[in-house]
Structure 1
Amino acid sequence: MQISGITISQLALIITGDSNISPYRSRYQLIDFFQEIDSDNADREHLSRREYTECKIKEANGTSNLPIVFRNALDPRNFLETTFELEEVVKKLNVFLEYDKYKIVKIGEFYEVKDNRGMAVELELPFEGSTEISHVFIEEQIQKCERKIREGDFDGAITNARSLLEAVLLYVEKKLSQSPPEYDGKLPKLYTRVQELLNLEPSRKDISQALIQMLQGLTSVVSGLAGVSNMMADRHARKYKPAKHHAVVSVNASKTVADFIFETFSYQLSKGSIGLQTSQTISADEAADPGISKS
């Protein structure tokens, strides 16, 4: 992760507390703050608190340590029993991060930096801020996809792309089916069941040929993602080593289908075309392993 100099300066103000919108840290507290990513205790007494902080951020810039700096700076526990608002800090930093192609997002109770570079598809979920295990799991898969691409873990990103789509499809099926079958790890079969629940079967005769072609295309995308994840992901002993463009297209494909399913689900629900048939939610065990260990 790489950010600009002006963003480094703004982040330093937040960490030191000199921005007046975050808790103040003394020099010793700043040393403790950076201890997790740096065991170097070299004397930097000649530097001011702000100079020291900027120096440490610059050392982390462009490495896997920088997301840790952001995560620790935005830890909600730092703002407990203070008059400062963490949301105000996030909003301010996001103004600068936008120019660096990053964005701070909330995942569960904590915040992470999302990489927007090379990720053309934006998936907006209808349950932002939810703490339900299935919702949190889906949010986590989105962030893992993007983080692993950023870190060069392309086979891992493909695995999470599949996990994301699996979790979304399982969520919708649980909401609409009275007795959903146990997921056997067959992603295309799961997608077909959700298609039927949402009245999206390509075999319908009452929709235009263009829409039929689009629905058939999405079915092919799901089958392709299943195949790619079998060959290139880290779920099994992989047959091919994926490159970045393989990971990006897999993640974007997963987001595209997931977004279409969510939009259709929300639209039909609002119109009364479908109804919630069950109060079931994905269990913690299902969320942790929604069948991805199976072929």
Structure 2
Amino acid sequence: MPDATLPGVHHVTALSGDAQDNLDFYAGVLGLHRVKTTVNFDDPTTHHLYYGDATGRPGTVLTFFPWPQAANGRPGAGMAQAVAFAVPNGSLADWRVRLADRGIDVEAGERLGDPFLHVSGPDGLKIELVPTPDSADAAPWTDGPVPPNLAIRGFHAPTLPVFADDRTVELFTDVFGWSRSGTDGDRLRVQGPGTGVGTAVDLLVRDRHPSGRMGQGTVHHVAFRAPDADAQATWQAALRERGLQVSDVKDRQYFQAIYFRDPDWTSGLLFEIATEGPGVLIDEPEADLGANLQLPSWLEDRRDELERILPSLTPPT
């Protein structure tokens, strides 16, 4: 076991269709703060949009690669099934009204003793809203269209389909050091050692899962947060010692990232370990987060070209 911890989820990255539709829903309807407008560093002609709490802290950030030319995806094995957000206790009735008023279909459910609402994003991504007690450091975005008593606080617990005969549960409990915190049928919740939002994951443990197809409305990867680069390096070495193929460190400007996927240890899911810093405030002040296109230094000489290619975005009203 490495002498470092993975407190919880860092971010979740998904694929979407039209960038403006994506912005209108996640910022305009759900009231998430667009904390960064940048590009996919591996495909800079595509936007990379970050949404989160007031300052885009790890544990609150959902990011998208808008690929309007891509076909619709189909969630299944090897990709997260749903993304759940924490909302204040007692807010579900008002959320139901807000969503229904905007013509969005809402389904109610309950799991592990918690009620929740289920909606679909504009491209079919499954989104859940789960009432959750506020943590002491909750910092929701309060300058947006959603009142503070409803505002999303961060992640609750993404749902990951895993196979019963794989070692994914072992990865979380014996390698990551997370604890089992509840079961509901074939759903196992594992809890990281951190506090606040973004510290749990639901593992849907089944003998079989339907095959998935990557495309619009599907999750590309789930990232877990490491305190710093030293902790990340410790995990990189520890995973490689167990035979996993782990990438070299990638510079993502706002964090450093390593990636790994394994048919046995991750049930084919793509996982990332990302450093908590330097964070989204490294290149623009809090008051301007998300308002302007931010590029890493190695792409600045292409700014004029990229601004011509990328679709313009209008903040939702």
Larger Rg: 1
TM-score range, shorter chain: under 0.3
Normalised to the residue count of structure 1, the TM-score between the two structures is 0.25
Normalised to the residue count of structure 2, the TM-score between the two structures is 0.24
